[in-house]
Structure 1
Amino acid sequence: MWPTPPPYYILFAHAPLSSANPGALSNTLRHPTVQYHYQDDPLLSLLPQHPDEHVLVLDYDPDSAAIPTVQSLSKTLVVTGLRIDEAPGAAAADEGDVKNDKMYTIETTEIEDPVISTPQNDKNSAHNALDKFKRRNALLRRALQYPNDSESSEFEHSTSQTTIPPPQ
């Protein structure tokens, strides 16, 4: 048995890049299909099986005090954050069944595929180009906030929001 069980309560929140408030967390939460992958499992099994499938990897080490990390293996889905909170009602769950009582909410957004072209009149519009630049800049800003947020002492209380860095 692991010292700390793996995450049991996992959700993802998807906010469109064109959102009016790019820093806001989506109020639409979904349950992902969870598949456990261990260190000795082949890495190729993690790759998406079809073009519309999105694979997110939550790297969780039960023996480490390090903050879990999330990475996207999708071409168009970007991880912008990870919230770790107390799962509502988890303490009242069956006491005989030991579960991790934290709720992991993976924040994502979808970027445009550069191959998809926009109508010619949109490409030439300075207003549309500036708007697109601002949205992409907001996405990058959210994805790069991780180093400053990880030093927060609030993480020990499991109430802070932690933004995950891009893959290295």
Structure 2
Amino acid sequence: MPIMHPPYYVLASASAALVHPTIQYHYKDDPPLDLLPQPGEQVLVLDYDPETSAPPTIQSISPSISVTGLRVEEAPGAAAAAVDEGVARNDRMFIIETTTAQDRPMDSSMTERKPPQTVLAQFKQRNALLRRSLDYPISPSQA
């Protein structure tokens, strides 16, 4: 089986915006303590083994951010850039879907009375977030 290269591009979806994360490579023999987040830093760990057919997985080790999914999509214009550079690479992109504490529905005190429509909307929002999180990791057929 030929070794497939991972997608060349990586984007993170944060608060409905796509951002370019800072990428650091860590290998099996690197100390795991190197991955611990520094103050104000958010760390996501993408586990990708090109020698297996298992889909990549990603998880957050930061308390302020949660991963809800990982998609692989076409990177518009990437193939043309690779031809110009004369480099062979996988011109797809990983999109890491995340949610932060600010994006999560806020819990208010139990003494505050809210209209039933507001409570129902919060319930639906929380269930949608839970469904997205439970659907991840993706199955090999989606990769």
TM-score (normalised: structure 2): 0.77
Aligned partner of 1:42 in structure 2 is 31
Q: Distance in 1 between matches of 2:64 and 2:129?
A: 13
Per-residue CA deviations over 1:107-162 (Å, capped at 9, x if unaligned) read 111136xxx974787x4325454443332221111111237x5153x54xxxxxxx
Aligned CA-pair RMSD: 3.0
Any gaps of 5 or more consecutive residues in structure 1?
Answer: 16-25, 156-168
Tell me if 1:106 matches 2:106.
no
The residue type paired with residue 14 of structure 1 is A
Q: Which residue pairs with 1:88 in the alignment?
A: 76
Matched, 1:144 2:134: yes
Is 2:13 the counterpart of 1:9?
Answer: no
CA distance in 1, matches of 2:140, 2:132: 16
| 1:144–1:100 distance in 2 versus 1, CA, 3 Å | same
- In structure 1, how many angstroms separate the alpha carbons of the residues matched to 2:48 and 2:38? 23
Alignment CA distance shift 1:43-1:67 (3 Å)? same
In the alignment, does 2:22 pair up with 1:30?
Answer: no
> Post-superposition, which runs of at least 4 consecutive aligned residues in structure 1 deviate over 4 A?
116-121
| Alpha-carbon shift at residue 80 of structure 1 (Å) | 0.9
Instruction: Give the match's secondary structure for 2:88.
Output: coil
The equivalent of 1:68 in structure 2 is: 56
Distance 1:12 1:3, change over 3 A: same
Check 1:131–1:76 CA distance in 2 against 1; reply closer, same or farther (3 A cut): farther
Write the distance in 2 (CA, Å) between the matches of 1:108 and 1:100.
23
**C-alpha separation between the residues in 2 aligned to 1:100 and 1:42?**
29
Note if contact 1:82-1:105 (Cα within 8 Å) is conserved in structure 2: yes
Structure 1: distance between partners of 2:6 and 2:139: 20
Measured at CA, do residues 7 and 38 of structure 1 come closer, stay the same or move farther in structure 2, by a change above 3 Å? Answer: farther
Percent identity reads: 54
* 8 A contact 1:5–1:98 mirrored in 2: no
Secondary structure at 1:41 match in 2: coil
Q: Is the Cα–Cα contact under 8 Å of residues 55 and 140 in structure 2 kept in the other structure?
A: no
Residue 79 (1) aligns with residue 83 (2): no
